Amino acid sequence: MELKKIGVLSLGKIAGLMGLVAGIIAVIILTVIQKILTGLPTAQLAMSELYSLSLKTALIIPLYYAVIGFIWGTVIALIYNLAAKYIGGIKFELKK
């Protein structure tokens, strides 16, 4: 079997969802780093200012990742569809 075409919006939605999950994971990691740095002595608190994470930022990061994921997913699907049209698609086998 050969994958001749990818649904552009289908891949965009999946990539957007994956970006959203990656953004949520990034916010969790940044929050943990912020909590660790906030507990440091005052001489090192200036460094924690670089990693400060506001609620607004915590909401924007996952949305940004989702939008970028959606855009890249649609671009990749368009490029794949164009390439598959001229050089053939990815060949694969499915088990019954």
- Helix, strand, coil shares of the chain, percent, nearest 5, are 75, 5, 20
The mean pLDDT value for 52-73 works out to: 89
pLDDT, position 54: 75
| Domain spans of the chain, in order of start | 2-91
Tell me the pLDDT band of 74, cut-offs 50, 70 and 90.
very high
pTM: 0.78
| Cα 22 from Cα 63, distance rounded (Å) | 10
The mean pLDDT value for 21-45 works out to: 78
